C-alpha cells in the first residue's frame, strides 16, 4: 500500500520549472530517499508533500486522502496532514528546554499534561535523550539537537516522517553514526519516511527505495543496488561516485537466458557488456564501468570474456581503506579503486580488465 502518492506533480517559481511532472509512490513503512544535486527539485517536492508549498499541477495523496490537487481545488493545510518534519537547520527553540521542545506539538494539540509527560519521556528514551530533558537547547551538541528535532517530529505519532537533509550540518564521523541510528529507528518504528539528500552514500545506507531527481524530473526509481549497478541513464550513472563512462557503438547483441550482452566497439577497444534487454545493434551507447570493478595487473589476463585495456598509471592516492589510481589508456583516463595493498608506481605500464557481469550499458 502507498503511504504517499505523487501523480504528475509540478511546481514553478516564475519562469523556473522546479518540479516537472513527478509521479512516485512511497510505500507504507518504507524509507524513500529523494536524491539529486542542488536545484533538482527534491526539497520543493518534500515541501509540497508537507503542504508548505502548493503544487501547480498533479495530485498528492497521503494514504487514501487527497491532500492537494489544483484541478479539483483541493488543498489540505500542513497542520491537518499528520506529518512530522525535520528541517536541515533543526528549527528547535533555543529558549526552551529539551522537554519543552519535544512537548510543543502535543501542547498545541491540547493533549492532557499526563499524556504529554508520558509521550515525551517515551520518545526521548527511544532516542537515548531521557537524561537530558531539562537541558536548554543551546547547551546541546549538533548531534543532540538533531535528535531533539527528530523526537519533536515523532512525539505526536505522525503517519509520515519527512526529513530535509537533517545530517548535513554534522561532522563526517557523527554523520556516519547518525545514519545507522536513523535507519535502525525507522525500521523499529515502521514509520513511512521520505528523506531528502544530495549525498549518494547516505541515500544508499538509509533507503529502501531511491528516487533520483534531475532538473525537476524523476529519472530513476528503485532499490539502492539497482540504481547503483543498473543506472537508467548516463546522468544517473555519473551521479554515483567516479564511474568510467565509455562511449561506443553496439556492434552485436547476444541474448542469454538471464541477461543481454552487447558487444561495444569503440576507438581503441572492443568487448562484451551487460545491457538492457531492448538494446539494438547500431545504437550509440555508453558502457558504465565502476572503479571498484576493475582488476589491475602487470600481465594480460588469460580470459577472453573480459574487457581489457593497456594503460599507464598517471597517479595514485592512498585513502586508508582503499587505494585510488588514475590510469591513462590512450586519450581516456580510467579511475581504478582497489584494496590498500595494491602496489603500483606512477608511470608503470598496467593492464586493466573487467568482467562483462560488472558492466552496464546506458543510452
Q: How far is CA 176 from CA 59, 156, 173, 201, 229, in A?
A: 35, 27, 5, 10, 23
Mean pLDDT of 288-309: 84
Mean pLDDT of 314-335: 93
Are 63 and 47 spatial neighbours (Cβ–Cβ below 8 Å)? no
All domains of the chain in start order, with CATH = 2-234 (3.40.50.300), 242-362 (2.40.50.140)
* Pairing between β-strand 260-266 and β-strand 269-275 as defined by DSSP bridges: antiparallel
For residue 10, what pLDDT band results from cuts at 50, 70 and 90? very high
Q: Worst-scoring range by mean pLDDT, 49-53, 108-112, 134-138, 247-251? A: 134-138
Q: Bigger pLDDT: 258 or 216?
A: 216
120 pLDDT more than 70? yes
What are the tens digits of pLDDT across the range 349-360? 999 999 999 999
Mean pLDDT of 254-275: 92
For residue 302, what pLDDT band results from cuts at 50, 70 and 90? low
Q: What is the DSSP letter of 97?
A: B
For residue 306, what pLDDT band results from cuts at 50, 70 and 90? confident
Are 27 and 2 spatial neighbours (Cβ–Cβ below 8 Å)? yes
Are 165 and 88 spatial neighbours (Cβ–Cβ below 8 Å)? yes
51 pLDDT more than 60? yes
For residue 27, what pLDDT band results from cuts at 50, 70 and 90? very high
Sign of CA dihedral 113, 97, 164, 11: positive
Which pLDDT value is given to residue 137?
81
Three-class DSSP category at 306: coil
* Cell 541474448, located at residue: 255
What are the tens digits of pLDDT across the range 179-196? 999 999 999 999 999 999
Q: Half-sphere exposure of 305 toward its Cβ, with a 13 Å CA cutoff? A: 7
What are the tens digits of pLDDT across the range 134-175? 999 878 888 899 999 999 999 999 999 999 999 988 888 889
Are 362 and 288 spatial neighbours (Cβ–Cβ below 8 Å)? yes
Q: What is the DSSP letter of 356?
A: G
Largest CA distance in the chain: 75
Are 9 and 211 spatial neighbours (Cβ–Cβ below 8 Å)? no
| Nearest CA-CA partner of 272 in 261, 283, 282, 280 | 261
304 pLDDT more than 60? no
Which pLDDT value is given to residue 106?
96
Triad 127, 132, 138: Cα angle to 5°: 105
Please state, for a pLDDT cut of 70, what percent of the chain lies above it.
99
This model's pTM is above 0.85: yes
* Pairing between β-strand 16-27 and β-strand 192-197 as defined by DSSP bridges: unpaired
| Mean pLDDT estimate for the chain | 94
Q: How far is CA 107 from CA 61, 75, 101, 138, in A?
A: 27, 25, 10, 22
Mean pLDDT of 217-243: 96
DSSP string, 26-53: EETT-EEEEE-STTSSHHHHHHHHHTSS
For residue 95, what pLDDT band results from cuts at 50, 70 and 90? confident
Amino acid at each position: 500500500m502507498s503511504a504517499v502518492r505523487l501523480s504528475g506533480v509540478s511546481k514553478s517559481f516564475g519562469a523556473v520549472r522546479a518540479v516537472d511532472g513527478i509521479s512516485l509512490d512511497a510505500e507504507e513503512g518504507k524509507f524513500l530517499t529523494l536524491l539529486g544535486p542542488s536545484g533538482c527539485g527534491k526539497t520543493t517536492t518534500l515541501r509540497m508533500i508537507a503542504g508548505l508549498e502548493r503544487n501547480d499541477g498533479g495530485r498528492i495523496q497521503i494514504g487514501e486522502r487527497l491532500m492537494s490537487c489544483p484541478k479539483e481545488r483541493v488543498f489540505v493545510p500542513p497542520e491537518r496532514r499528520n506529518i512530522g518534519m525535520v528541517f536541515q537547520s533543526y528549527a528547535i527553540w533555543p529558549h526552551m528546554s529539551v522537554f519543552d521542545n519535544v512537548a510543543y506539538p502535543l501542547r498545541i494539540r491540547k493533549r492532557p499534561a499526563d499524556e504529554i509527560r508520558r509521550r515525551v519521556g517515551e520518545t526521548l528514551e527511544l532516542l537515548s535523550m531521557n537524561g537530558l530533558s531539562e537541558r536548554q537547547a543551546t547547551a546541546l551538541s549538533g548531534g543532540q539537537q538533531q535528535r531533539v528535532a527528530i523526537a519533536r517530529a515523532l512525539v505526536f505519532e505522525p503517519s509520515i516522517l519527512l526529513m530535509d537533509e537533517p545530517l548535513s550540518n554534522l561532522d563526517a564521523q557523527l554523520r556516519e553514526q547518525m545514519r545507522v541510528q536513523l535507519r535502525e529507528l525507522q525500521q523499529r518504528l515502521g514509520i513511512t519516511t521520505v528523506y531528502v539528500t544530495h549525498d549518494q552514500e547516505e541515500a544508499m545506507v538509509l533507503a529502501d527505495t531511491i528516487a533520483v531527481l534531475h532538473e525537476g524530473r524523476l529519472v530513476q526509481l528503485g532499490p539502492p543496488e539497482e540504481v547503483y549497478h543498473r543506472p537508467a541513464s548516463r546522468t544517473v550513472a555519473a551521479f554515483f561516485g567516479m564511474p568510467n563512462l565509455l562511449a561506443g557503438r553496439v556492434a552485436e547483441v547476444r541474448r542469454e537466458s538471464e541477461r543481454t550482452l552487447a558487444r561495444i566497439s569503440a576507438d581503441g577497444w572492443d568487448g562484451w557488456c551487460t545491457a538492457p534487454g531492448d538494446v539494438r545493434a547500431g545504437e550509440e551507447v555508453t558502457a558504465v564501468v565502476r572503479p571498484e570493478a576493475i582488476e589491475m595487473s602487470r600481465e594480460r589476463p588469460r580470459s577472453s570474456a573480459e574487457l581489457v585495456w593497456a594503460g599507464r598509471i598517471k597517479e595514485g592516492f592512498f585513502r586508508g581503506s582503499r587505494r585510488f589510481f588514475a590510469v591513462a589508456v590512450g586519450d581516456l583516463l580510467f579511475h581504478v579503486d582497489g584494496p590498500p595493498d595494491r602496489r603500483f608506481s606512477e608511470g608503470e605500464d598496467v593492464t586493466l580488465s573487467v568482467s562483462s557481469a560488472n558492466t552496464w550499458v546506458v543510452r
